[in-house]
Each structure stands twice: as structure tokens, then as C-alpha cells.
Amino acid sequence: MSDARVVLITGAAGGIGSAAARAFHAEGWRVVGVDRSSDSVPGVDHMIHADISDPQAPERIFTELKESFDRLDALVNNAAMQICKPIIETTVQEWDAVMASNVRSVFLSMRHAYPLLKATGGSIVNVSSVHAVATSANIAAYAASKGALLAFTRATAIEFGSDNIRVNAILPGAVDTPMLHEGLARGHIAGASLDELVRGLGGRHVLNRVGSPDEIGRAIVFLADNNQSGFMTGQDLIVDGGALCRLSTE
């Protein structure tokens, strides 16, 4: 086990984060999870309880990681928050909270992860969203943060490439997670129950369903693993059931 690769996943207790933890664990990685939640997560070997939006948190997280494992082969920046409000009703505090969680935390985590990743020739996967490419009403702060994450992915891929660190982004579409359920409460999909709302949203996809967290988790492992995607960097992988390929006018 001492030679096993180590991955750190932020937001590890959430739908996509926990699925990624299980996927990495199944492939023999040692999984370090970071989350505000105190819940244990299957597949996580070491949990660090922290709020990634706290600018002091990354230094503590990576100090603990180094003390416990002294190596890092992949960083998955997955933690995020979503505010569903019209732009003119979004407060400065809400805007800043989204950016702190979804963008600044990634910047700080990558800075602290860099020496460990350089030593292993590791990789970074930033969990963006299809909202970075095509979005909806009343979700502007989230969409802006995910768009920023794409630009940051490309910039860091260029800067880190000479150190043999790959940086890619994954853009999930609608995935059956608690965040999706909360978003559906906006009422933009007709239906009486949560199951009906999810099915209604799924029906708008080419594959006639929403995605599962496990499907996104396996795609994250693919991007993180040098043996599977070693010639990819600065790229964004869309996993959305075909949602973006269909014209909205059809």
C-alpha cells in the first residue's frame, strides 16, 4: 500500500465527490477527502474536515496531507456551492461566497498541491460544469465561477506543463445529486414530485435521462490517471448526456 497513488478530493461527501472517492478506491488509490461534513465517506481512507472557502484552510489541509502521506498523485477540485437567484437580487456577500468556494479555493489548493504534484508528475482535475458553456436564468454567480474555472484550467496547464503536471477540467451536465435536487426547486421544470422533476429534466437530454454520480466519478478517474489520459492537458471533458449538442431552437 505504501506505493499506492494518493488522490485528494475536495467536497468528498457530496454526490460527485463521494462517487469519485469510490471510483478511485476501486482502482487501488489511497483517497484523502476534504469536506465540511463530519460524515464518513465510503472509499475515503483519510478525511480532513475543513471549509474549503476559508482562505486559511488549504495550508492546513496540505500540511496534514504531507504529514500523513508525504505524496500526492492527483488533486480533484470538486467542492462547490450554488446560489439560484436573479443577478439583481444576488448580494455582494453571496457573489463572494460562490467565488470563494468555487474559484479561490481552487487557486489556493493548486498552489499548495504544486510541490507534491511536481514530485510525482501528478495531475489536477477541476470539476467545472456545462453552465460554463451554456446556462440558465437565475444562476449567474455559479455559471461565472465555473467559466472562470475553465480559463484557470487552461492557464495552469500551460504554467505547470514543464513540470509534468497535467491540468484538465470535467464539465458534468445534470447529475442526480443533492445539488441538482436543490436546483430543481427553482421550478423551471414542470412536475409535482422530485422524481417527476428529475425525469422531466432527463427527458430534455439526448440520452433521455440525467447522469449518475458514478458515471462522473469514473470520468474523473480517467482524467486524473496518467495511464489513461497521459497526453491530455488544458482540456475540458463534457459529460452531459448530449445536452449541449442539441440546438435550443429544436
pLDDT band per the 50, 70, 90 thresholds, residue 192: low
Q: How many domains does the chain have?
A: 1
Residue 11 within a domain: yes
**pLDDT exceeds 60 at position 187:** no
Residue 145 within a domain: yes
Among positive and negative, which fits the CA dihedral 114, 116, 119, 120? negative
Residue 250 within a domain: no
pLDDT tens, residue by residue, 167-179: 999 999 988 876 6
Identify whether 114 is a catalytic site residue. Answer: no
pTM as predicted: 0.93
Residue 248 within a domain: no
Out of 24, 62, 69, 142, the active site residue is: 142
Collapse the DSSP code of 83 into the 3-class scheme (helix H, G, I; strand E, B; otherwise coil) and give the result. Answer: coil
Q: What is the pLDDT of residue 208?
A: 81
Query: Is the backbone of residue 191 left (phi > 0), alpha (psi -120 to 50) or beta?
Result: left
Q: Do 17 and 220 meet the contact criterion of CB atoms below 8 Å apart? A: no
Mean pLDDT of the chain: 92
Average pLDDT of 48-64?
Answer: 97
How far are the Cα atoms of 65, 112, 120, 127, 166 from residue 213, in angstroms, in the given order? 26, 27, 28, 13, 23
Residue 127 within a domain: yes
Picking from 73, 74, 98, 71, the residue whose alpha carbon sits closest to that of residue 85 is: 98
Residue 1 within a domain: no
Q: What is the extent of the structural domain holding 25?
A: 6-243
Average pLDDT of 92-102?
Answer: 98
Looking up residue 113, the CATH number of its domain turns out to be 3.40.50.720
